[in-house]
Structure 1
Amino acid sequence: MTDAAPMAGAAPKPDAAPKTDAAPRPLRADARRNREKILTTAARVFGEQGPDAHLERIAKEAGVGSATLYRNFPTREDLIEAVYRHEVAQLCEAAPALIAERPPEQALRTWTRLFLDYATAKYGMIDALRAIAATGANPYGGSREMIRAAVTTLMDACAAAGAIRTDIRPTDLAAALEGIALTSAGAEHREQAERLLDLTLDGLTARR
């Protein structure tokens, strides 16, 4: 007979077994590009207007529809956390790339400007990031450790080339960068932040 209820105690059919979470399917190339455009645009807009910036503006300037934005990031908090993690990853991945294409001292100086871009984006989202953290989530992940590892990579290359002092530790420079970001983050303070960076890097230069 068909459509009969299974007998009590009968073994479940194979397709009735509990399903496990499958690995997320990789994004198509166009979907990856859209996600990248959203994150890059959102970092800039949040840096300019703060975390309350209109998401529709972000979607429009990224060249995608609002539906695409919300499909990738269902809530504002999802977008803010993703933007922050993306900015950290971009900053840290830039360190070895810069070393590969230019002299170490120049790579370090260029990277510190990228650090200012990251700090400005973070400054525009700081209240929202703190609110996310207050819920028990950890939007920062291992960001501080990642940034210090990037600083170490750059300083090791500079030290090997004899371009910087060897009595300054990567944690010292990282602390100086954090201090500059704390006091001079925000687009309106960019010129002052760059002067402080130059002062710091000049003090790091190897004595002749």
Structure 2
Amino acid sequence: MDTEKKPLRADARRNYERLLEEARRAFAANGVEASLEEIARRAGVGIGTLYRHFPTREALVETVLREGFDAQAEAARDLLGSPEPVEALKAWFAGMGEQSARYRGLPELMVDVLNDETSPLYASCHAMRDQVSQLVERAKASGELRADVTVHELLVLLHALSWASEHLSGDKGLERLLDLVFAGLRAS
């Protein structure tokens, strides 16, 4: 349900905000497959109320993630001015990788929706993808990034790294994986 088309009543707005807060908590604790019934219960509403606001799990996930996606799109725009195009791309990947790894199961979900135009996440993903594609093209044009690499391949790789970093010990798991991958992505 698009809540911006028609203003919500005050009680409906409170329910909406409580559902989002509980979804953030549940997804952080249990991954994106967390129980929707439990999210509704913890928000103090029935499951029907959750589905009125968010008709599918992906709609709820998209709403929870939208703020972070918007921030990552803005970060990509900001990084376009960096004097080192590959380092700028790597910095964007680090930020997006951290966000993707925040919720268990998100990397797998993101890979699934990259090609699913019916998914509520598709539009958000592609808006962000459009921004990062400029970073990729800039890095290619500089001669520092392999010319045969596509944005789609890099995003799938990013989600794979996010998934893998969930299974590494230590705080530097994603950073180490990005170092290894970007060493292979540099043009020779």
TM class by shorter-chain length? 0.5 to 0.7
Aligned residues: 169
Secondary structure, aligned partner of 1:121: coil
Match of 2:105 among 101, 123, 128: 123
CA 45–197 in structure 1, closer or farther in 2 if over 3 Å, else same: farther
Where do 5+ consecutive residues of structure 1 fail to align?
1-22, 60-65, 131-136
**Identity level (%):** 25
In the TM superposition, 1:35-50 aligns within 5 A as: 35=16, 38-39=19-20, 42-50=23-31
> Which one has the largest radius of gyration?
1
CA deviations 1:126-159 (Å, max 9, x no partner) are 79xx9xxxxxx85554566455434313313444
What is the RMSD computed on CA atoms of the aligned residues? Answer: 4.7
Shift of 1:35: 4.5
CA 98–139 in structure 1, closer or farther in 2 if over 3 Å, else same: closer
TM-score, normalised via structure 2 length: 0.57
CA 26–80 in structure 1, closer or farther in 2 if over 3 Å, else same: same
In the TM superposition, 1:157-176 aligns within 5 A as: 157-159=138-140, 162=142, 164-167=144-147, 168-176=149-157
Shift of 1:91: 4.6
In the TM superposition, 1:106-185 aligns within 5 A as: 107-112=88-93, 113-121=95-103, 123=105, 138=119, 140-141=121-122, 145-146=126-127, 148-159=129-140, 162=142, 164-167=144-147, 168-185=149-166
Counterpart position of 2:71? 94
Q: Is the 8 A contact 2:19 2:39 kept in 1?
A: no
Secondary structure, aligned partner of 2:105: helix
Where do 5+ consecutive residues of structure 2 fail to align?
113-117
Counterpart position of 1:55? 39
Secondary structure, aligned partner of 1:73: helix
Shift of 1:122: 5.5
Counterpart position of 2:115? none
Q: Kindly provide the amino acid, as one letter, of the partner of residue 98 in structure 2.
A: L
Shift of 1:48: 1.8
Shift of 1:192: 2.8
CA deviations 1:54-89 (Å, max 9, x no partner) are 437864xxxxxx25x978624797474333213553
Shift of 1:123: 0.8
TM-score, normalised via structure 1 length: 0.53
Q: Is the 8 A contact 1:164 1:206 kept in 2?
A: yes
Counterpart position of 1:63? none
* Separation in 2, partners of 1:186, 1:28: 43
